Chain A
Amino acid sequence: MSDKKSRDSFDDFEQHLVASTEDKYSLRLYVAGMSTMSMRAIDNIKRICEEEMKGRYDLEVIDLYQRPSLVADEQIIAVPTLIKKLPHPLRHIIGDLSNKERVLVGLDLRKKI
């Protein structure tokens, strides 16, 4: 009886693991104007998305100077900030995203060391 139960939950777990590698990523990059740091972040995330999530991501770049109310809504202090909206959970990654490994950790695409 308990054997079947544990096997079922194991199957669920396996299924979930498989599903995660096919998840769609919904990302928002918040920058402050088009500074060199902003441009770097944009270039970096575009590259990472193409390399790691090709075909299954959508990326929106938002300039906070254009839409300042989002600072409060999304609780953004540091810029640039990359927010992973999907898949859950929500994640904040700050910086110009030049450290690819850290970005992947933040996106839950790598185990945290």
Chain B
Amino acid sequence: MSETRTQLPKSNTGIRGLDDITCGGLPKGRTTLVCGNAGCGKTLMGVEFLVRGATEFNEPGVFMAFEETADDLIKNVDSLGFSLKALVDQKKLSIDHVHIEHSGIVEAGEFNLEGLFIRLACAIDAIGAKRVVLDTIETLFGGLPNPVILRAELRRLFLWLKQKDVTAIVTGESGIDTLTRYGIEEYVSDCVIVLDHRINGQLSTRRMRIAKYRGSFHGTNEYPFLIDEKGISILPISSLSLNHEALDERISSGIPKLDSMFGGQGYYRGSSILISGTAGCGKSSIAAHFADATCRRGERCLTFLFEESPSQLMRNMRSIGLDLEQWVSPGLLQLRAARPTLYGLEMHLAIMIKAIQEFQPHVVIMDPISSFWSHDENFEIKAMITRLVDYLKYAGITALLLNLSSDGEFMEHTDTGISSIIDTWLILRNIELNGERNRGLYIIKSRGMSHSNQIREFMITDSGIDLNDSMNTNG
């Protein structure tokens, strides 16, 4: 057993996901550099750090704004659900706009930035602040001549902040070759976070990564994140350690004859199930049965729809005798629809995981995942689905994924990308036999259990899905 190394004390940010990735938050009493391109969210991260500090951790904060005026800042974050004015009135937050005259200042000798220090000290002492944000450091550089003095003073500033025992965030703009335009990351030795906001094929994606975190374990990947009315959400979905517990319990698919194909018991709880089939063959109906059975058990089901609207789905299912609507108002069934073209893959993943974290379902259905195929490189999609499936497995949530395949094409090829990571794979296809075209269902694999190898004829009736005991093969 290795001995536990002491890590730097940390300050919880309260920003969803960030405390997980950093294993506890930002270095307490030290300065973290948050850098990124324009519009990446660094100002918001600073604001949220202070707002959560004030409201959740009883740590007042000072926001020193070099770019925006206090009024602009308050207005800008108001649309994000942060009411800064209230916090300012309660003396939990102080916003100081420092105006730097870019054109008018004449340098006539040696100087230092003691004025800034005095101002900061005043602001910190006035409310007993424990958190400080300086946004952005480039504005300081841009406004004052003499980068040599500025660098020395920055170094002094970070030491000064440490002495003042405040946890600080300093924001900076990305440089071309360096992390920040003026290379100030050299002076911030404790923690550097990089935010990125990219447009790929007309879709915007936000990512963050920890470039440096001295004296601490941390996630090193790039993580997608969202900005919505609750602030920033970072999705730490990389526990690909494959050490989730295997659950023994079996749950019904909602179709008794299908359960019988699985040795009479149905799916494993917490497993992942893939159903592939051609258009209109009944995949959504099988999923709807599963949702219905789940809710009937009193458990929650979250369905992500990528091609139909919730009301359309519910109407269609009514025609086969399934009333899904009854589960919506008791809060057992939640249907969320989004066109795949609406966001980038990362955003989709982030949004889905956020919805899962909020609703805490026992079952998640994705109808269909093939909507993403045209979207991006197949490799990326596989990565995304893998992360999602892994996340769900780790959380013990049963996942049902539907995949559309085109008729005639050997069904299994588009699926091989993901079939290896899922536990149970069912195929629905049109089977031509003796001049008849029937729908057949068969199980290709189901890990950990014995299953039928028969192709069963599959019918959609107005009282639900039915399976014949076996496919008619009369000669």
A37-B112, A102-B106 given; A64·B118 CB < 8 A? yes
Q: State the CA gap A49–B100 with chains docked (Å).
A: 27
Q: Name the distance in Å between A40's Cβ and chain B's nearest Cβ.
A: 8
Confirm or deny: A18 has a beta carbon within 8 angstroms of a beta carbon on chain B: no
Contact present for B106 and A93 (CB under 8 Å)? yes
Q: Name the distance in Å between A54's Cβ and chain B's nearest Cβ.
A: 20
A69-B122, A71-B122, A72-B119 given; A96·B109 CB < 8 A? yes
Contact present for B98 and A92 (CB under 8 Å)? no
A64-B118, A72-B96 given; A106·B112 CB < 8 A? no
Confirm or deny: B107 has a beta carbon within 8 angstroms of a beta carbon on chain A: yes
Query: Quick one: closest B residue to A89, CB to CB?
Result: B104
Q: State the CA gap A17–B313 with chains docked (Å).
A: 82
Confirm or deny: A77 has a beta carbon within 8 angstroms of a beta carbon on chain B: yes
Contact present for A78 and B115 (CB under 8 Å)? yes
Which chain A residues numbered 64 to 97 have a C-beta less than 8 Å away from chain B? 64-65, 68-69, 71-72, 75-82, 90-97
Q: State the CA gap A96–B112 with chains docked (Å).
A: 10
A68-B118, A68-B122, A71-B119 given; A78·B106 CB < 8 A? no
Query: Quick one: closest A residue to B105, CB to CB?
Result: A92
Q: Name the distance in Å between B112's Cβ and chain A's nearest Cβ.
A: 6
Q: Name the distance in Å between B17's Cβ and chain A's nearest Cβ.
A: 35
Q: Name the distance in Å between B314's Cβ and chain A's nearest Cβ.
A: 60
Q: Name the distance in Å between B94's Cβ and chain A's nearest Cβ.
A: 11
From A32, A75, A82, A94, B118 is in contact (CB under 8 Å) with A32
Which B residues lie within 8 Å of A95 (CB)? 107-111
Q: State the CA gap A9–B146 with chains docked (Å).
A: 41
Confirm or deny: B113 has a beta carbon within 8 angstroms of a beta carbon on chain A: yes
From B108, B116, B121, B122, A102 is in contact (CB under 8 Å) with B108
Confirm or deny: B159 has a beta carbon within 8 angstroms of a beta carbon on chain A: no
Which B residues lie within 8 Å of A41 (CB)? 109
Confirm or deny: A26 has a beta carbon within 8 angstroms of a beta carbon on chain B: no
Known: A32-B114, A77-B144. 14 other contacts (CB 8 A): A68-B122, A71-B119, A77-B100, A79-B111, A79-B112, A79-B114, A81-B115, A93-B106, A93-B107, A94-B105, A94-B108, A94-B109, A95-B110, A103-B106
Contact present for A78 and B118 (CB under 8 Å)? no
Which B residues lie within 8 Å of A72 (CB)? 96, 119, 122
Contact present for B109 and A64 (CB under 8 Å)? no
Give a binary string over B119-139; 1 marks a CB under 8 Å from any A CB, 0 the rest. Answer: 101100000000000000000
B: interface residue count bin = 20 to 34
Give a binary string over B229-257; 1 marks a CB under 8 Å from any A CB, 0 the rest. Answer: 00000000000000000000000000000
Question: Could you tell me how many residues of chain A have their Cβ less than 8 Å away from some Cβ of chain B?
Answer: 35
From B96, B100, B110, B119, A37 is in contact (CB under 8 Å) with B110
Highest count of chain A CB atoms <10 Å: which of B96, B101, B108, B140:
B108
A30-B115, A71-B118, A71-B119 given; A77·B110 CB < 8 A? no
Give a binary string over A17-60; 1 marks a CB under 8 Å from any B CB, 0 the rest. Answer: 00000000000001010000100110010000000000000000
Q: State the CA gap A72–B144 with chains docked (Å).
A: 17
Contact present for A102 and B144 (CB under 8 Å)? no
Contact present for A92 and B112 (CB under 8 Å)? no
Confirm or deny: B297 has a beta carbon within 8 angstroms of a beta carbon on chain A: no
Contact present for A99 and B108 (CB under 8 Å)? yes
Q: State the CA gap A71–B121 with chains docked (Å).
A: 11
Contact present for A32 and B122 (CB under 8 Å)? no
Which A residues lie within 8 Å of B116 (CB)? 77
Which A residues lie within 8 Å of B106 (CB)? 91-94, 102-103, 105-106
Q: State the CA gap A105–B109 with chains docked (Å).
A: 13
Which B residues lie within 8 Å of A96 (CB)? 108-111
Which A residues lie within 8 Å of B99 (CB)? 75
Query: What are 22 of the A-B contact pairs (CB < 8 Å)?
Result: A30-B115, A32-B114, A40-B109, A68-B119, A71-B118, A72-B96, A77-B115, A77-B140, A79-B111, A79-B112, A91-B106, A93-B108, A94-B108, A94-B144, A95-B107, A95-B111, A96-B108, A96-B111, A98-B108, A99-B107, A102-B107, A106-B106
Give a binary string over B78-115; 1 marks a CB under 8 Å from any A CB, 0 the rest. Answer: 00000000000000000010111100111111111111
